[in-house]
Amino acid sequence: MSKTLFWLVSILFSMATLVRAAENPEDFRFEITGAAWVLNPSGAIQASGTPVDLVKDLNVEQQQPTFYGKLVFKPSRKQRIVVEGTPFRLTGLNTVSRSVVYRGQTFTVSQTLKSSADLDYVFAGYQYDVISGRAGHLGLSLGGTYLSATGTLQAVQTSTMATKSLTLGLPLAGGEFRVFPVPAHSWIDVNGGVRGMALGSYGNYIEASANGGVWIRHVGLEAGYRAVNANIHETSNGGSGVSLHLKGPIFSVAWKW
C-alpha cells in the first residue's frame, strides 16, 4: 500500500512538473501589480525665489512607503498596453538655518517650517516585444506621462503660507525586460526597465527599476529597487520647477491571467 501511494504521488508530481514546464509564462492577457515603494527622497523645489532643499531645509521624511500600481494588457503575443501610477506624498518639519524665499514669501532664520510636496504620476503607453518566448521578453515602449505637483511651505509660528502648483505632460520612451533564468520553468523571474526623456534646457526625466521574484502559478511575489529623477523647470533659464530624486526598495505582488 505504501509503495503504491509513493508511486502515485511521484506520477502526479511528475505530471504537474511537465504541465508547469509546458506553460508559456508570457502567454497571458492581463497582469496587475501592486507594490509598496519605500521612498528616500532628496532634491529641491523652487518657486519665485531660492531653491529649497528637501532634506537640509525641510527635513522631508525618509523611508516612507508609497503605493505603486501597474496594469499590463496584451492584445496579442508581442504587443502590450501599459498603465502605471504613483501618488507621492512628502512631508517635513524643520527649523531653518538660513532665509529662504518661496513663491515670493520670505521665511527667515530660526523659523520652523512645515512642508508638503505632493506629486501625482500617471503613465500610459504602448510596448512592442522584439523578443518574446518561454524564457522571457524584451520590449521597447513609447507613451506619455502626466505629472501634477504641489509644494507648500508654512511657518508654524506665524502661519505664513506659500503654495505653488505645476502640471505638465511629457513623452517618455524606454525599454523593459523579463527573464526566467531556470530552463523550462517559470517560478523564478528577473525583470527591469528604464524610461525617460531629455527636455533640453527645461530639464530631464528618467525612471529605472530592477526586480527579482518567485511565481506560484499566476501569483508573483517580487522585491527590487526603483528610482526616479525628475529635473523639470517651467522656463529654459531655470527658475520655478522641481529637482526630485526618489529612490528606494520596492516590494510587489503581481497577478496575471
Q: In this predicted structure, what is the pLDDT of residue 48?
A: 84
- Section 20-39 average pLDDT: 88
pLDDT digits (tens, 9 = 90+) for 5-26: 455 445 444 444 444 444 799 9
pLDDT band, residue 250 (cuts 50/70/90): very high
Residue 166 is predicted with a pLDDT of: 86
Mean pLDDT throughout 40-66? 94
Give Cβ neighbours of residue 157 (< 8 Å, ≥ 6 apart). 111, 112
Q: Does pLDDT of 59 surpass 90?
A: yes
- Report the amino acid identity of residue 198: A
Determine the straight-line distance between the first and last CA of the chain, rounded to whole angstroms: 39
**What domains appear along the chain, each with residue ranges and CATH number?**
2-256 (2.40.160.20)
Angle at 166 between CA 160 and CA 168, to 5 degrees: 175
Contact 67, 86 (CB under 8 A): yes
Per residue in 122-131, pLDDT (tens digit) is 999 999 999 9
Q: What is the DSSP string of 11-34?
A: HHHHHHHHHHHHS-TT--SEEEEE
Query: What does the pLDDT look like over 74-116, one tens digit per residue?
Result: 999 999 999 999 999 999 999 999 999 999 899 999 999 999 9
pTM as predicted: 0.87
Min mean pLDDT across 19-23, 69-73, 214-218, 236-240 is at 19-23
For 156, which DSSP code?
A: T
How many whole angstroms separate alpha carbon 89 and alpha carbon 204?
A: 21
Question: What is the tens place of the pLDDT at every residue in 192-219?
Answer: 999 999 988 889 999 999 999 999 989 9
pLDDT digit string (tens) for 145-181?
999 989 999 999 998 999 999 898 999 999 999 999 9
